[in-house]
Structure 1
Amino acid sequence: MKQNWNLDVIANPDNFERIRKEVEESANNFVEKWNNNLEWLEKADVLKEALVEYSNWIDNYGEYDKEMYYYSMMLTLDEANAEIKAKYNSIHKLAVEIANKINFFEIRLSKVNSQIQTIFLESDSLKEYKHFLERLFRSGAHILSESEEKILTLKSKVSHNNWVDMLSSLLSEEEREVLNEEGNPDIKNFSEILELISNRDKKVRDKAAEVFNQILVDYVKVSENEINSVLENKQITDQIRGYNRPDESRFIADDITAESVETLVATVTKSFEISKRFYELKAKVLGLDKLEYHERNIEINNIYKKYPFDEAYTLVKNAFGNLDSELENIFVRLFQNGQVDVNPKKGKAGGAFCITVNRKLPTLVMLNHTNSLTDVTTMAHEFGHGINFELSQIQNGLNYDFPMCTAETASTFCEDYVIKELLKDADDETKFNMYMMKLNSDVSTIFRQIAFYNFETELHAEHKKLGYLSKEQIGKIFQKHMQSYMGDSVIQSEGSENWWIYVTHFRRFFYVYSYAFGLLVSKVLQSRVESNPKYINEVKQFFGAGNSNSPEELLKDINIDISSSNVWEEGLKLIENTLGETISLGEKLGKI
């Protein structure tokens, strides 16, 4: 089985010069044809012609074309390669220029008056593009003039991205002496220190936490200025665009209503007792009265079995195959075509991801498989995204998009089925350890992310009211919301008031709810499939719908109503049941 990317599936680099010319020429042709022609803003049949051409342009070129995709992935495999960076930067600059040329189309279309909007939305000829138009008209109230949009695009890097990148870069370059896994003094970088904080050896994790906290103290004043600057910039931008609340732009981008997100947040917040019970259990299993803040993620699984790639591949393949043959076929095909890069290499980026650009370019999966159990679940998670992308290729180019909340549904759905495969023949000891591992992940994905959302909400509100927040004020708000979901079994230790510093989520504004959304919906989908195996067809329908309708409507089509708290309560109940089973197993095994 192929274990390395074959990036020629994107394009042959020998053709890039010709492709660049094609991209520029096609963009210029589109601009020339439609920029000065106003009929498409008035007549449905003319708009249909324009939308077909625009959709085809997105499919074949778009701002993120073959060359940019290719060099972006090359850079992932060799992050320090200056030559690749230069090529990527060159094509990125061209992509921005082309995007600025062609952005007139969506801007003008979003601004048509309400009477024309109604005509377009009710037109049979535009039915295929109805939801694209609905999304565009919803955002239109907050889109500025073409020249103003260009200004905001040009300034976004210096007003937001550079601040965030500066802090991230400073932290990533930190190296300090800690105790390594064997308990010996060793120099580790920032991410390695963070990983050691979860070590089972108390001396190792406590030393790592001490050093980690000192790094955060060293940068807390810089971080205070950074977060206040990005908050102020967002408030200015929101005011210019006419948003009424700081999370409104997120709801519009994710094509979801405020009411659905508010119901999710309120329901999970009301159920924080589940996460509190989990941390109480974890402390007991570890023989501790209470967990220090940095100990909440201590490794507890005691699963030392290794899963070489071939075994992991077979496990995931079988899990997908037992669920549905089409899911298995997608999994196998991506490997056969060289669309998966499996192993760690010098210079290769860490972590894992699955990426798509448009429906005509290949889905790519990047892994860093080191034979651990987590690597198996990560493979399943990323291929959940891949299955989502592949099934959605039936959509047109303008509906080939994925709100974060629905993307996370597909990934966690597939991940959970692989865990079920692993549990099939597990003894009680293994089952207990896997349940603890899964609960730790679920608590972080659902309850922690909603606590993060609540923190962001108060952070933005307080900043708007006061104009500037000191590091002490931010730390107090942060600890308040971490305590809210962890409970009394986790001490908000000295230093934890600064742990907001390294959480990049808070600079991407209010997207954290999507993790909880995705996992809870996925739990409900799993329950429906287990009750009726044929329901997998409805699940695939949802995964293949792309952005053809809002998440609320797409889920309603398969009989799930997320405007009601019932769905969220159903998902939370499934997690509570797993917690209850884990406690019973722990008592049976004498662990608590």
Structure 2
Amino acid sequence: MEKNKKVYWDFSCFFDGDDDPKIEENKKIVKQKSYDFINKWKDREDYLKEPAILQEALEDYEEWVSHYGTGGDFAYYFSLRSAQDQNDTELKAKENRADDFSQKISNDARFFGMRIAKIPESEQKKFLEFEGLKKYKHHLENSFAEAKYLLSEKEENILSLESKASFSNWVNMVESFLSKEDSEIITEEGKKEKKNFSEILSLTNSKNKETRDSAGQAFNQILKKHSDVAEHEMNSILQSKKVDDELRGIERPDLGRHISDDVDSEMVDTLIEAVSEKFNVAKDFYELKSKLMGVDKLEYHERNVPYGEIDKKYSYEDATNLVLKVFKNLDQKFLEIYEGFIKNGQIDSHPKKGKSDGAFCAHNLISQPTYILLNHTDRLKDVLTIAHEVGHGINNELMREKQNALNFGTPMSTAEVASTFMEDFVLEDILKEADDELRLTIMMDKLNNDISTIFRQVACYKFEQDIHKDFREKGYLSKEEIGKLFQKNMSAYMGDFVEQSEGSENWWVYWSHIRRFFYVYSYASGLLISKSMQNSVKENPEFIEDVKEFLSAGVSDSPKNIFKKMGIDIMDKSFWEKGIKEIETLLKETEDLAKKLGKI
């Protein structure tokens, strides 16, 4: 590795270590700046009546959230340090204290956004049309849109305080019970070994039939054991959501998610409809997979078992160079941003004892650097992970250049666009160099991921719609009723070549996404938008300028309006169908290749 390629995070822009005296100094400054802002505006009402004074207030607010926020540098620093060493209890304690510090300020500053949101509808126009507030226009539009469903400050505080008991504790309880489970599994070496819950789930994807069946059986037994508790948990959080919606006057269970994500319900409905009408794509994929695996049907727990072998190794340096090459071909700006991440120590690349699993891209204040965590182990998947997480990072940097702090961020509906866009172009480059056997393996893996990201998540969304609707009609749902709704929606996209095996009716028990109500549509929307954009870039390389414009926009406008400026109507079903067409094309190419190789 060249000397200018750092492989650990460099925090020298923050502090010189976990006990640097500057940490306490930063804490004091953040507290002072926060309460300077809070105390200046908490007893005033003039900014709610005069646009020029609201401009001053929002400029103060922007200054505060740009450089200090509720946790400054120290809270961001300790959250990142904890990810580097999760076994260090002192670090965890420091992170928890930073979170408490941040939460207190956040609660004390809540009045500001709530009072702006409550500006009477008859007065809103003069604020939205005021020249000095132009840069904050969409921020205000969002505030005003939420106002209809806001309660009083006191009531909001009560709900916030109560949410732990009425929601979080239930969810955490079930997750905690599951995480403590273990079971004896037949390993790939043929031995019986105790494995924990997450290891058992992972082993359901083993290439070894005996191992994955052993893991599947154990997993089903664990879910069955906790299904009674999960039944009560699910009914409690459904009740909590119902009460919350009724108090706020929210008409449909998924509307709150749409409002917070800055999307029209009509857009989400169109997306769900477009994908549902193409469930045959997923069914055809599972038919192909079952043929390639030499079985009549895939059992529910083995639907994600990888086909084929990928033996090729990619060192971190090789992977980095490959991604750099692809970015250079796409756009010079993408290349420069990624090179900056490497040079400035913004990527922590390799596994280490105590380090957080998986990968993520972190950003906080607009004035703070992006940091990317990887766990590179020389697999093809790790190359794609680099492209994915750096894609998020590129998104951050493009927004940082163009937007103010109040417009810095990505709506949930488009959060995965940049990451999957970069990932797919890197995969395309890898496929060019692969022989037919490797191509088939990679294409099957890609299809498996796309089916899970788009069709499975839409099926999950429809399952959520069903359980919320039925709960509100009946008042309580038994685990058997929940299980039937779950299997109905899973079989709708899987078709006849995936068996709804005994035990699969309980797989909702561990699925954490359904506890983050109606969040899953965003996986499908992000990937389909990305695929539509990829298609446009392939047809016309100059479209990359539109892609950069989109990635720079942040939350300065709604996704609908940002796309409209690009000549794209995301309310039109054909837009979503264009993205699905990319998957259909890949599936056809994969089937043809499998036939050519005599596999089917």
Note the C-alpha offset of 1:157.
2.2
Q: Which amino acid aligns with 2:34?
A: A
Which residue of structure 2 lines up, in the alignment, with residue 562 of structure 1? 570
SS at structure 2 position matched to 1:103: helix
Which residue of structure 2 lines up, in the alignment, with residue 282 of structure 1? 289
Which residue of structure 2 lines up, in the alignment, with residue 24 of structure 1? 31
Distance 2:21 2:468 in 1: 49
Note the C-alpha offset of 1:257.
0.3
Choose the corresponding residue for 2:70, options 32, 50, 63. 63
Choose the corresponding residue for 2:509, options 485, 501, 509. 501
Which residue of structure 1 lines up, in the alignment, with residue 339 of structure 2? 332
Q: Residues 183 and 196 of structure 2 are in contact (CA less than 8 Å); yes or no, is this contact kept in structure 1?
A: yes
Task: Give the direction of change, closer, same or farther, for the CA distance of 1:259–1:11 in structure 2 (3 Å limit).
Answer: farther
Note the C-alpha offset of 1:23.
1.5
SS at structure 1 position matched to 2:95: helix
Note the C-alpha offset of 1:11.
4.0
Choose the corresponding residue for 1:54, options 30, 42, 61. 61
Q: Is 1:455 equivalent to 2:459 in the alignment? A: no
Equivalence map 1:521-540=2 (5 Å): 521-540=529-548
Equivalence map 1:22-421=2 (5 Å): 22-393=29-400, 394-421=402-429
Distance 2:311 2:175 in 1: 33
Structure 1 residues 293-323: Cα deviation after superposition (integer angstroms, max 9, x where no partner): 0111011141111112111111111111111
Note the C-alpha offset of 1:9.
3.4
Q: Which amino acid aligns with 2:267?
A: S
Note the C-alpha offset of 1:530.
0.9
Q: Is 1:575 equivalent to 2:579 in the alignment? A: no
SS at structure 2 position matched to 1:354: strand
Task: Give the direction of change, closer, same or farther, for the CA distance of 1:248–1:64 in structure 2 (3 Å limit).
Answer: farther
Distance 1:435 1:70 in 2: 39
Choose the corresponding residue for 1:519, options 523, 527, 532. 527
User: Which stretches of structure 1, 4 residues or more, deviate above 6 A after TM superposition?
Assistant: none
Distance 2:225 2:491 in 1: 24
SS at structure 2 position matched to 1:149: helix
Note the C-alpha offset of 1:115.
2.0
Note the C-alpha offset of 1:63.
2.3
Distance 1:10 1:448 in 2: 42
Distance 1:7 1:405 in 2: 31
Distance 2:312 2:462 in 1: 38
Q: Is 1:584 equivalent to 2:588 in the alignment? A: no
Q: Residues 353 and 366 of structure 1 are in contact (CA less than 8 Å); yes or no, is this contact kept in structure 2?
A: yes
- Say which is worse superposed, 67-76 or 577-586, in terms of deviation: 67-76
Q: Is 1:5 equivalent to 2:9 in the alignment? A: yes
Q: Which amino acid aligns with 2:215?
A: A
- Say which is worse superposed, 343-352 or 165-174, in terms of deviation: 165-174
SS at structure 1 position matched to 2:232: helix
Structure 1 residues 314-342: Cα deviation after superposition (integer angstroms, max 9, x where no partner): 11111111111111111121121111111
Q: Residues 388 and 407 of structure 1 are in contact (CA less than 8 Å); yes or no, is this contact kept in structure 2?
A: no
Distance 2:91 2:186 in 1: 36
- Say which is worse superposed, 509-518 or 403-412, in terms of deviation: 403-412
Identity %: 48
Note the C-alpha offset of 1:183.
2.9
Distance 1:32 1:358 in 2: 22
TM-score, length of structure 1 as denominator length: 0.98
Distance 1:128 1:453 in 2: 35
Distance 2:320 2:180 in 1: 35
| Length, aligned pairs only | 592
Distance 2:85 2:299 in 1: 38
Q: Residues 275 and 447 of structure 1 are in contact (CA less than 8 Å); yes or no, is this contact kept in structure 2?
A: yes
SS at structure 2 position matched to 1:163: helix
Distance 2:281 2:303 in 1: 15
Q: Residues 71 and 101 of structure 2 are in contact (CA less than 8 Å); yes or no, is this contact kept in structure 1?
A: no
Q: Residues 34 and 70 of structure 2 are in contact (CA less than 8 Å); yes or no, is this contact kept in structure 1?
A: no
Distance 1:64 1:355 in 2: 15
Structure 1 residues 515-549: Cα deviation after superposition (integer angstroms, max 9, x where no partner): 11011111110111111111111101101110000
Distance 2:418 2:87 in 1: 33
Distance 1:546 1:354 in 2: 16
Distance 1:559 1:126 in 2: 27
Q: Which amino acid aligns with 2:155?
A: E
Choose the corresponding residue for 1:424, options 432, 454, 460. 432
Q: Residues 257 and 517 of structure 2 are in contact (CA less than 8 Å); yes or no, is this contact kept in structure 1?
A: yes
Cα-Cα RMSD: 1.2
Q: Residues 64 and 357 of structure 1 are in contact (CA less than 8 Å); yes or no, is this contact kept in structure 2?
A: no
Distance 1:399 1:237 in 2: 28
TM-score, length of structure 2 as denominator length: 0.97
Distance 2:165 2:80 in 1: 25
Distance 1:181 1:309 in 2: 28
Q: Which amino acid aligns with 2:216?
A: A
Note the C-alpha offset of 1:512.
0.4
Q: Residues 283 and 497 of structure 2 are in contact (CA less than 8 Å); yes or no, is this contact kept in structure 1?
A: yes
Q: Which amino acid aligns with 1:159?
A: S
Note the C-alpha offset of 1:574.
1.2
